[in-house]
Amino acid sequence: MTLICTAVGGWCAGLASDRWGRVAVLRATIAWYAIATFLAGFAGGFDSLLVLRCLQGFGFGGEWAAGAALISEYAGTRYRGRVLGAVQSGWAVGWAVALAGYALAFSALPAAWSWRVMFWAGVAPALLVIALRRTLGDPPVYLRGRAKVSPLRIFRPDLLRVTVFGALLGLGSHGGYYALTTFLPTYLRGTRGLTVLGTTAYLAVFITASFFGYLVSGLLADRIGRRRNIVAFAALCLLSLPLYLLVPLNDLGALLASAPLGFFSAGIPGGLGSLFAELFPTAVRGSGQGFCYNLGRVIAAAFPALVGALAPRLGLAAGIALFAGLAYALAAVAALCLPETRADDGRVSGAAVAGGHAYGGPDPYGAPGSH
């Protein structure tokens, strides 16, 4: 339910950012997420926790939709991939901080309190709202290109193809990542028999490799192209999954195999921001990015459930490998069906420019020297 609400929140926030501005919506979604996360620590049972996690999802999904549009419009075409890859690497940094808090809380506190403390710590991002309010304004390209358009604009014929295959790419990316990472701690504890501290060490290797995966993916997106970068990382994910999950390895081998798996699995989400931003014109960029990135989360929410349902029959490792592999294969196929948006002359090619003509001319987002 959290993932489903994340998807809904992402699309709604994307629509809102097109109409009311990137920064205003980003501030609102960060505050929403922080408050809902804090309140989840006071949940008295399953029902109240479910409601609060749904509310948390709305803010979580909305943050990426507004934030990715904001960052991509400030970044120049030549460096957009590496800038968004660097921003996305903050996911790994935040995950590492959360992992350290997890190890500390679950080692030092009673089980009845440790999970609540983890939720209460989630109020920290609210401090960002103060900084955003004082220092950041909407990008000039957004202010020039904003227009009142229908929320269904991304489904019209000139953008329908990129919307459909972009959503399938989002599904493959999230489906693989969720099938893998949702059950990774359970796999390490249950299948490999690790303690909380042992699990932390394996996840630390995975997360560190993910950090560099985001950065390298962004750099390669600028060097070899947005689409080719995603296809390459999806193929490498398909190779590393069976090595980590299905090949019998000792503890040291599994620890070392965590690194390529973390690195490659981060490469696809690390390259999505620049590709999605350049597929849509300014007036519907937030809506298009929010829909493609987050619709996949609705269906991808089923992947962890399917892994859990089939684990008693297939085994947890085989279930993760099966569904994560199917998802990454889908991501590769969907990326191949999308246009390449990086162009050597500095212009954004493909749907972004084509879509821009519907508003009376090429989208200024891709014009050389516009940043």
- Domain CATH number, residue 100: 1.20.1250.20
In total, how many domains does the chain have?
A: 1
Arithmetic mean of pLDDT, 248-257: 78
Of 252 and 263, the one with more pLDDT:
263
| Residue 229, pLDDT score | 95
**217-238: per-residue pLDDT in tens?**
999 999 999 999 999 999 999 9
The pLDDT of residue 370 is 37
**Percentage of the chain modeled with pLDDT above 70:** 90
Average pLDDT over residues 207-224: 94
Between 200 and 214, whose confidence is greater?
A: 214
Q: Please tell me whether residue 3 adopts helix, strand or coil conformation.
A: helix
Residue 239 maps to a domain: yes
**pTM tops 0.85:** no
Whole-number Å distance between alpha carbons of 184 and 224 = 31
Residue 166 counted as domain residue: yes
Residue 371 lies in a domain: no
Q: Which DSSP string corresponds to 138-205?
A: --HHHHHH-----TTGGGSHHHHHHHHHHHHHHHHHHHHHHHHHSSHHHIIIIIS---HHHHHHHHHH
Which pLDDT value is given to residue 195?
63
The residues near 61 (Cβ < 8 Å, ≥ 6 apart) are 5, 6, 7, 8, 9, 10, 11, 13, 290, 294, 297
Tell me if 240 sits within 8 A of 148, measured CB to CB: no
Q: What is the domain extent for residue 194?
A: 2-366
Whether 263 is covered by a domain: the verdict is: yes
Q: What is the mean pLDDT of the chain?
A: 83
pLDDT at 261 over 50: yes
Average confidence (pLDDT) over 161-178: 91
Please determine, for residue 20, whether its predicted confidence score (pLDDT) is greater than 80: yes
pLDDT in tens, 288-347: 999 998 887 777 777 777 887 887 888 888 888 888 899 999 999 999 999 988 754 333
Lowest mean pLDDT segment, chosen from 75-84, 137-146, 242-251: 242-251
Cα→Cα distances 27→33, 137, 282, Å: 10, 11, 20
Per-residue pLDDT, 345: 32
- Residue 224 located in a structural domain: yes
Contact 60, 4 (CB under 8 A): no
> At residue 199, does pLDDT exceed 80?
no
pLDDT at 337: 94
